[in-house]
Structure 1
Amino acid sequence: MNLLPKSHKEFSDKDYWNKFFKKRGNKAFEWYGEYLELCGQLHKYIKQKDSILITGCGNSSLSADLYDVGYQNITNIDVSEVVIKQMNSINSHRTNMKFLCMDALNTIFSDEQFNVVLDKGTLDALMPDDSDETKQTIDKYFSEIKRVLKLGGRFVCISLLQSHILSKLLDSFCDKSWMFRVVRCHEAEERNAENNDGPTLPVFVVIATKFKAMPQLILEVCMAGDKMQRLQTPEELKTYVKTAQDTAFVTNGLAKTSLDEDNEVSLDLMQPGEDTPRYTLYVVDQKKTQAINKYAVFIVPQGRESEWLFGTPAGRRQLQDSARFGRLVVAVLRRGHKFESLDAVKEELAHAAKMLIPYGLTGQIPFLSLGSDVGRRVKIFEGHSEFSGDFVVEDVDVEGATHRRLVFLDNQFLVQSEAKLKSVKRKNKTKLVVDFGHISLYHSFMCVGVQLAKTVSTNVAVLGLGGGSLCMFLRKCYDDLKVTAVDLDPAMLEVAKDHFELQTDDRLEVQIKDGLDFLKDEVKKGNHYEAVMFDMDSKDRTVGLSCPPKQFLDNQVLDDVKTILTKDGHFILNLVCRDVDLQQSIMDILKRHFKHLTSVKLYEEVNEIVLATNSNKMYNTDDFEKAVKELNACARQKKLVDIRCVDLKDFLQSVTVIS
């Protein structure tokens, strides 16, 4: 049975509505939600003693519901004689409520007769387009509303706020004689989602309050919760509404379809009035044949978002494969916000979780996490670098231990430097200090390359200081080794000293200069190194290469590296490249400059460690095994580790000798 118009122009046609209500019978047709979903907003702006006019009432039960809870001064009008006859019959026992057949464009009411004019979908029906004819119709409608409203009265309009409708409302009511407010009604949207009533579009309540001339424009919006945000211009309001509608377009699409297994969709959730996301949601789907469960939300504790399992598409895919849900939403708690508890986070995410539920699913949504809390993230320091922009140093809890991290805010899901902290007693006081024996997995693999290059007196150049964890490990582990660290950014040296306990002396020197200039100068000076390490990030996000900067792989630069390496020296490269073709081209370039190459690919990490040498001796498993054992023995002797810093089995399984 065709209950909705074939053409949107029929919405404003009287004959259409007579036919509609004859077909519909006495069954109520609720545009944009029922009383239970709308009452939270309606009760804020309508008082029980108010004189209320409901325009285009249709056969909605809204007026009856309001009447039954104490709003008994209600007049309903509609252009359809059929529906007015139906409603008078249905509501005969509600003796004080009126149903009148009347055109809202030309009413017979007195000036300033009503405290409230309530419109639930009528404006949307009257304004299917923005043609001149339609605009003239709406001008008449709004003129009547303004005429019959008392001073201090409210025009309460429930609408989907298509762009042409919002523009017309703003043109007509957004001036100094009206306070204009838009509130999003999430309850109505959630009801549609739970009942699978078609697309879940944002439902808005517009409240235009009639005043005498005010000194300034009052324009407010509330897209979540109860907090109103004061805006300066109508364009700002249009942006807020359009953002909500665009997001709904995406979530509706996700509800109806499944993503390709290699794809995911991310959405940022923000609190009203804030410029930074509070949450980022990643939506990952799995083939129905592989899924045991239907749908869940996984909450990543604070500080864990940079881990491979949660911080990369491949990791999130593995997480979903392990959980075996048809759809998994991975929720990341963003930096710079306070989260009270896991239950509070679940409550905040409840609406978004419902909007992303696959079509046809009902019931309670399971929320998963790693534990019973939201994790801990404490800001230790924040600063600004001329080269890297804003950054923070923060302490986070990871599996019962505190880790200190340096993060550049232009790439918040990448940890630039990390150090594990340990408790020590000094003068009867417990203090957290850096555990120099704990270095990242990829740094430990790079140190195997240093062990391969080690001679009686070893010089190592490290391009890229960061927090200095790699340099401090080398300095602490080897007595007969000198480290020359190079970094372009003086701010990083201060951070490393102040927050990561970097100690410079005759065995650990830091030069603040461009790494390219350092290599050229060392060539000119004739200095040589047993190992040259590249461990610096790229600021260019467009080339798919995060480490090192692309210019450090130019032919001339690699020639300089070869020149300053000793005969049996090793070039040790931390390579982070997500572009497969670019990664292969980098390997081809390295092959042209070095006789022998080895790749150490880290499991569950984006890093790949490349070892290169022009020694006559090829890389081989025996030498790697010996180097790992010697490195572990040295680290134990210096009490940097209890057992090992490199797992021999893991290392050998990760090694691929290329040439």
Structure 2
Amino acid sequence: MGGKKKKQQQNRPPKNSRDLFKSVREFTSKEEWDLFFAMTGSGDSFEWYADWPQLQSLLTKQLLSPPSLLPKTAGEAPVALEAGLLVILVPGCGNSKLSEHLYDDGFTGIINLDFSKVVIHEMRKRNLTERPEMVWHVMDITDMQFDSKTMDVIIDKAGLDTLMVDELRATEGSLYLADVKRILEAGGKYICFTLGESHVSDLLFSMFRFGWKMSLYTVPKEPSSKLQTFMVVVEKDICASVSMISSYMDEYSVGSHGNQARQFYEAVEKEQKVRLEYSSGSDTLYSLKDVGKNGNPHVLVEGRRIKLILGEPKGSTFYKGILIDAQKDSGPFKAPMAVLIVPYIRVDDWLFSSEEGQNLILAKSQACRLLIILLDSMNFWSSMEILKIELDHSLKQLIPNLSQNEVEIPFLTVNDRIWRKFNVKQVKSTVTGPIVVDEVIYSNLDKYNKDLDFLSESKDLDCESEHKELVFRRLTFERSPGVVQSEALLSSEETDPTAEPLTEENEVQKASKPRKVKKKGKQKRSYFRPSRKADDADGAASRNERKVDHNYLALPYQNAIISGLMLISLHLKESSSTRGMVETVVIGLGGGLLPMFMKNWIPNLNIEVVELDQVVLDVAKEHFGFKEDENLRVRVTDGIQFVRDKADSGAEGESTSKLDILIVDVDAPNIRSALACPAADFVEESFFQNAKNCLSKEGLFVIYLGSKSSTAKVPIYSSLKKVFGKSLVSLELEEYFNEVIFALKNESPITEEDLSKACDKLERSLELVNQHRWTKKVIKASKLIRPLI
């Protein structure tokens, strides 16, 4: 067995299964295993789990059963196999007595492998006289030196489990299983005894998905064992079809073994659904051979869209792809073909799973043909270099014949801007599901800014350091992995001591005082930079130095909201309902960055945030520096119900309950929807009507629409116009079809001239106060706000 070297103290073999997982992680290098086997002694043996009495009946029955997938002659009964003629390989044999028991039962053609010279020497000496035909080799099981199709059976007892001691060892496991597939004869069997940890079962199921028949069994356990062992049998077919898993597991036994067995059972159910999708007639998957039968694959067929399985039947990896040919009139084209690699966690996103979303990607790629590769559990770990190598043969058969010259195919990736990522915390919520806080360093901040759009403040960061030294903390929900809920720049100072909030008093004071001439040279904010220590890979070092900069908004739409609020400031001054304060409600907290920014820079706001999930509030306080005070409070309740209740109380004449500003900033939990935010309930006409009814006379309603499709917004526009009339303005963002819409309760039409005058006044107003980098963004963005026609 292969493994990376670790310096740690050795322990004796675990005495029971409870200590198994703790101890196995301590044996990860050849030297450690050598020491382990030397300590056990030549006459001793160690069985990780499932001893011979529990295995004998199940295993010998499988070994003697003839192959079920090979073609049979009509009328002839399957030929029974002879134990002594089978060539059996036992990789990672250790000092287990499994091979000895098999030999004594008549299976004499056994080859044993282990990368420990110590154990191979001891086992060869132990069996030389009694079992002379048994073969022993020192060999790394991730690089087995055997010719292809030379083994009838491979028996793996804890070998894969030991090799993949954690999720980080997927590469070693994949190399090993690829070799297993290569050296097995057609009709041969790989019999794996495993505890079925999720990272092991994911790899097993995906690697043996195409061209293999799989059967699962529970192994009878010893009374003292607290862990359930499973026997996974995979049989090599001569074609690349997908078969459903045959399960012979004892469900009672599975149910009585707690989480370990139940999680494996759930993983099997999940894999069955995946296989059903591959084999279902409603989702036909074609091979390149099938495409060739229906015409020349090098010829473009206008508007063609087919789902493909790419990979050689004899190979170890297959890829699921979608081939799309562009319409001739959709050019101009810059490339005959492009390939987009979609990560495993993003394949269900609307952008990649719907035809409309795929067409958007095709248009952006400016390619005549687009091949979308949807990674799954079988290949999610592959690097771009490996992907290019494994797809090379398939791509050569798909490049359109548009030029006699050799063409370089561009490979596009999703979210490739991240250079490094550190996991900070993951919590589970019964409302939202898993919530993830991480910190990222972008590989190219210039490209990042360009991709976001002009509203991203990070273009003007006061920092002369390398872009890779800026750290952003992000909040994401696992239900929407492609949507960043909040993103904050980390700084070593909490506030900007030179900044002053935008108040009327400041404007008067600034106007009456002569301006001071600043000294030459930039005033630099001290942004947090990650430790350069090699042992700080987890991002834990200097954690107490990291503070969220609440004077900075990283997400463009939040800057757009601020721009609109500033532009319509005249209405805000007239609409103050109590004590000169503007009653403001923000639905959706996230990390709390938007309301914190609003509190800092528009101090006459009395802000209440409505958040559905208490866990989100806890995360915002712990990891994003969110703080409540007398002018910023949070109410944990349902936003739809909150607005409905506000509207009802307003209808009953309670003027004090009216809102001056209502902002909707929530996500949509359905990733297959074209609308990334808000959730569907927040764009219903009934909600818009309730929102209008709870506003004061000159109140303002703000909603962020995150969309990948222009058509998805058409019914929303219709509902907004029906409720708010012509008092609608919009700021469109450059990223897809995202925009922020502002609606006034006063239904007076807002013209281009009105907006132009307001922009001029806003610019003069901002020039009077101490300029901060975001004020330039506000001025620039406000000039792009247009009436919603």
- State yes or no: 1:403 paired with 2:533: no
Is 1:537 matched with 2:667?
Answer: yes
Between 385-394 and 638-647, the greater mean CA deviation after superposition: 638-647
Within the candidate set 374, 377, 383, 2:427 is matched to: 383
SS in 2 for 1:436: coil
Indicate yes or no: 2:232 matched with 1:219.
yes
1:137 match: 76
Instruction: Tell me which residue corresponds to 2:60.
Output: none
Contiguous gaps of at least 5 residues in structure 1: 1-115, 128-133, 156-171, 189-200, 224-230, 270-276
Q: Tell me the alpha carbon deviations over residues 265-291 of structure 1, each in whole angstroms, 9 at most, x when there is no partner.
A: 69999xxxxxxx999977554468865
Residue of structure 2 equivalent to 1:417:
486
Mark the CA change 1:578 to 1:295 in structure 2 (over 3 Å): closer, same or farther: closer
* Counterpart position of 1:509: 633
Contact 1:477–1:638 under 8 Å retained in 2: no
Check conservation: 1:301, 1:373, Cα contact below 8 A.
Answer: no
Between structures 1 and 2, the one with greater strand share = 1
| Alignment equivalent of 1:469, drawn from 579, 583, 593 | 593
The amino acid that maps onto 1:611 is: F
Shift of 1:233: 4.1
Q: How many residues align?
A: 480
Q: Distance in 2 between matches of 1:534 and 1:445?
A: 13
Separation in structure 2 between the aligned mates of residue 311 and residue 397 of structure 1, nearest angstrom = 28
Q: How does 1:558-637 map to 2 (within 5 A)?
A: 558-576=688-706, 583-596=713-726, 597-615=728-746, 617-625=748-756, 627=758, 634=766, 637=769
Q: Which amino acid aligns with 2:385?
A: K
Q: Distance in 2 between matches of 1:254 and 1:591?
A: 51
Encode CA deviations 1:222-279: one digit per residue, 9 max, x unaligned.
99xxxxxxx994696995988888899445379655686596869999xxxxxxx999
**Mapped partners of 2:77, 2:482: distance in 1:** 50
CA RMSD of aligned residues (A): 5.8
The alpha-carbon deviation at position 352 of structure 1 amounts to 4.5
Distance 2:617 2:767 in 1: 25
Q: Which residue of 2 aligns with 1:345?
A: 384
Deviations 1:584-628 (A, max 9, x none): 333333223223223333222342322222325422234434555
Letter in 2 for 1:624: L
Judge conservation of contact 2:338–2:412 (CA < 8 Å) in 1: no
CA contact (8 A) 2:709 2:737 kept: no
Give the secondary structure class of the aligned counterpart of 1:462.
strand
Which amino acid in 2 is paired with 1:412?
Answer: P
Contact 2:69–2:235 (CA<8 Å) still a contact in 1?
A: no
The question of whether the paired residues in 2 share the 8 Å contact of 1:353 and 1:365 is answered with no
Contact kept? 2:587, 2:664, Cα under 8 Å: yes
Cα 1:388–1:283 shift into 2, 3 Å: farther
Partners in 2 of 1:607 and 1:250 — Cα distance?
Answer: 35
- After superposition, what is the alpha-carbon deviation per residue over 1:3-22, rounded to whole angstroms, capped at 9, x for unaligned? xxxxxxxxxxxxxxxxxxxx
SS at match of 1:151: coil
Tell me the distance in 1 between the aligned counterparts of 2:358 and 2:559: 25
C-alpha separation between the residues in 1 aligned to 2:320 and 2:775?
39
Secondary structure in structure 2 of the residue aligned to 1:406: strand
Aligned equivalents of 2:482 and 2:761: distance in 1?
34
Q: Which position in structure 1 is the counterpart of 2:261? A: none
Contact residue 264 and residue 285 of structure 1 kept, 8 A: no
Tell me which moved more, 427-436 or 482-491: 427-436
| In structure 2, distance between residues paired with 1:631 and 1:538 | 33
1:484/1:567 CA distance change after superposition, 3 Å: same
Counterpart-to-counterpart distance in 1, 2:487 and 2:771: 20
d(CA) in 2 for partners of 1:279 and 1:376? 26
Structure 1 residue matching 2:626: 3-state secondary structure: coil
Query: 1:655 corresponds to which letter in structure 2?
Result: R
CA distance in 2, matches of 1:283, 1:318: 14
Question: TM-score under structure 1 normalisation?
Answer: 0.57
Within the candidate set 740, 760, 777, 1:645 is matched to 777
Matched, 1:437 2:568: no
Hey, what does 1:481 align to over in structure 2?
605
From the superposition, tell whether residues 487 and 586 of structure 1 become closer, same or farther in structure 2 (CA, over 3 Å).
same
Distance 1:286 1:222, change over 3 A: farther
**Closer, same or farther in 2 for the Cα pair 1:637/1:265, shift >3 Å?**
farther
Partner Cα separation in structure 2 for residue 547 and residue 518 of structure 1: 19
User: In structure 2, what is the Cα distance between the partners aligned to 1:298 and 1:531?
Assistant: 42
**Kept in 2: contact 1:477–1:635 (CA 8 A):** no
Question: In structure 1, how many angstroms separate the alpha carbons of the residues matched to 2:771 and 2:80?
Answer: 84
Residue by residue over 1:42-62, the C-alpha shift from the partner in whole angstroms, topping out at 9 and shown as x without a partner, is: xxxxxxxxxxxxxxxxxxxxx
1:552-563 matches, cutoff 5 A? 552-554=682-684, 556-563=686-693
Q: CA offset at residue 489 of structure 1?
A: 0.9
- The Cα shift of 1:332 comes to 8.3
2:618 aligned with 1:494, yes or no?
A: yes
Q: Equivalents in 2 of 1:203, 1:548: separation in Å?
A: 40
1:554 Cα deviation (Å)?
4.7
Distance 1:497 1:295, change over 3 A: same
Equivalent residues of 1:303, 1:376 under 8 A apart: no
Contact between 1:202 and 1:248, CA under 8 Å: does it hold in 2?
A: no
Q: Structure 1 residues 338 and 539 mapped into 2: Cα distance closer, same or farther (>3 Å)?
A: closer
Identity of aligned residues (%): 20
